[in-house]
């Protein structure tokens, strides 16, 4: 294996490693991104459904960054019957936007619409959602005794920690406290911007070092190697140890410089013929005499 081939292989491996490190993990976003986010078992005077009734409800959260259709999946409150309620396909209401919510009503009245389930949450302490094949579990929760009008949910949307929420938040963020952004936290830690300057300079120098390493090891790929030039002749590979360097004479350089100068200054060796058209004006026109042949319009 030649030195150039080794260099090319090393550069390819290096670039592949860089792409793997910086690309991160990527997952397909589908019903696997759905989460049971909040439930209200005993609804005495809380959220009402589209029929004006107080019933238990279930909030499903789409943790993905694209729209996910929950249609075709199953909701159940019975571990032995994972396909208890089938969510019909083809209805726009089952399309959950990115990082958004959908509420189902556990009122045991499925004839009221797609969002009304054929079971209630007071029957058991179990709730699960399954994929369309009825076998793959997407998410499940077991809950204990519930208080009236107090919802039980994830303390942060989509995360693992559950608890009783201070406020019921159907179709809204479960966390109702003050949200401090990452920028505000960083300002508290670095009020004078010294840390930010150090991080910025570190990123710049790291990028320069990375570019130096990449170009240093890939320069032979993009340039002609005059020391070893491969040539195929009748099925055989011959190696030319060194290519002959072509010297350009001064006369050729002078001619090239003159051509560039003439092109820039727009000089020409041969001028085209110039046509001049002179306009001849006449004070008298045959049409002007027609005015004497006109009669006044009768009144």
Please check whether residue 128 is in contact with residue 82, taking contact to mean a CB–CB distance below 8 angstroms: yes
Q: What span, in angstroms and rounded, lies between the C-alpha atoms of 136 and 159? A: 20
Average of per-residue pLDDT values in the chain: 80
The pLDDT score that the predictor gives to residue 236 is: 47
Please check whether residue 44 is in contact with residue 148, taking contact to mean a CB–CB distance below 8 angstroms: yes
Rounded mean pLDDT, 162-178: 92
Q: What span, in angstroms and rounded, lies between the C-alpha atoms of 122 and 247? A: 93
Q: What span, in angstroms and rounded, lies between the C-alpha atoms of 121 and 85? A: 13
The pLDDT score that the predictor gives to residue 10 is: 55
Question: What percent of the chain lies above the pLDDT cut of 90?
Answer: 50
Quick one: 68 exposed, middle or buried, by C-beta within 10 A (0-12, 13-18, 19+)? Answer: buried
Higher pLDDT, 146 or 236: 146
Highest mean pLDDT among 127-131, 193-197, 199-203, 211-215: 127-131
Q: Is 172 helix (H, G, I), strand (E, B) or coil?
A: coil
The pLDDT score that the predictor gives to residue 259 is: 81
Cα 273 vs. chain centroid, distance in angstroms? 62
Q: What span, in angstroms and rounded, lies between the C-alpha atoms of 171 and 101? A: 5
Per-residue pLDDT reduced to its tens digit, 239-275: 444 444 556 777 778 888 888 877 776 655 555 556 5
The DSSP symbol for 178 reads P
Cα 299 vs. chain centroid, distance in angstroms? 83
Is residue 25 pLDDT above 50, yes or no? no
Residues 6+ apart with CB under 8 A from 37: 59, 60, 61, 101, 153, 154, 157, 158, 174
Task: HSE, CB side, 13 Å, CA atoms: give it for residue 48.
Answer: 5
The pLDDT score that the predictor gives to residue 184 is: 76
Highest mean pLDDT among 115-119, 265-269, 282-286: 115-119
């Amino acid at each position: 294996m030649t030195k150039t081939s080794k260099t090319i292989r090393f550069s390819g491996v290096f670039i592949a490693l860089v792409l793997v490190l910086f690309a991160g993990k990527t997952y397909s976003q589908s019903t696997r991104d759905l989460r049971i986010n909040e439930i209200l078992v005993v609804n005495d005077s809380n959220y009402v459904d589209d029929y004006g009734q107080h019933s238990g409800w279930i909030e499903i959260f789409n943790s993905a960054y694209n729209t996910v259709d929950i249609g075709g999946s199953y909701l159940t409150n019975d571990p032995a019957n994972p396909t208890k309620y089938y969510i019909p396909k083809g209805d726009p209401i089952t399309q959950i936007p990115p990082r958004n919510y959908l509420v189902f009503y556990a009122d045991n009245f499925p004839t009221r619409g797609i969002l009304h389930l054929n079971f209630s949450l007071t029957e058991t302490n179990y709730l699960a959602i399954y994929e369309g094949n009825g076998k793959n579990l997407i998410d499940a929760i077991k809950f204990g005794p519930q208080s009236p009008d107090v919802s039980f949910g994830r303390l942060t949307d989509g995360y693992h920690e559950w608890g009783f929420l201070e406020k019921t938040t159907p179709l809204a963020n479960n966390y109702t406290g003050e949200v401090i952004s990452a920028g505000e936290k960083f300002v508290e830690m670095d009020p004078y911007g010294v840390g930010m300057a150090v991080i910025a300079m570190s990123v710049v120098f790291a990028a320069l070092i990375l570019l130096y390493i990449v170009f240093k090891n890939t320069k032979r790929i993009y340039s002609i190697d005059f020391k070893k030039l491969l040539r195929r002749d009748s099925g055989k590979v011959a190696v030319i140890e060194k290519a002959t360097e072509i010297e350009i004479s001064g006369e050729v350089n002078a001619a090239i410089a003159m051509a560039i100068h003439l092109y820039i200054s727009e000089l020409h060796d041969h001028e085209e013929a110039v046509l001049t058209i002179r306009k001849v004006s006449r004070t008298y026109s045959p049409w002007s005499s027609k005015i004497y042949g006109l009669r006044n319009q009768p009144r």
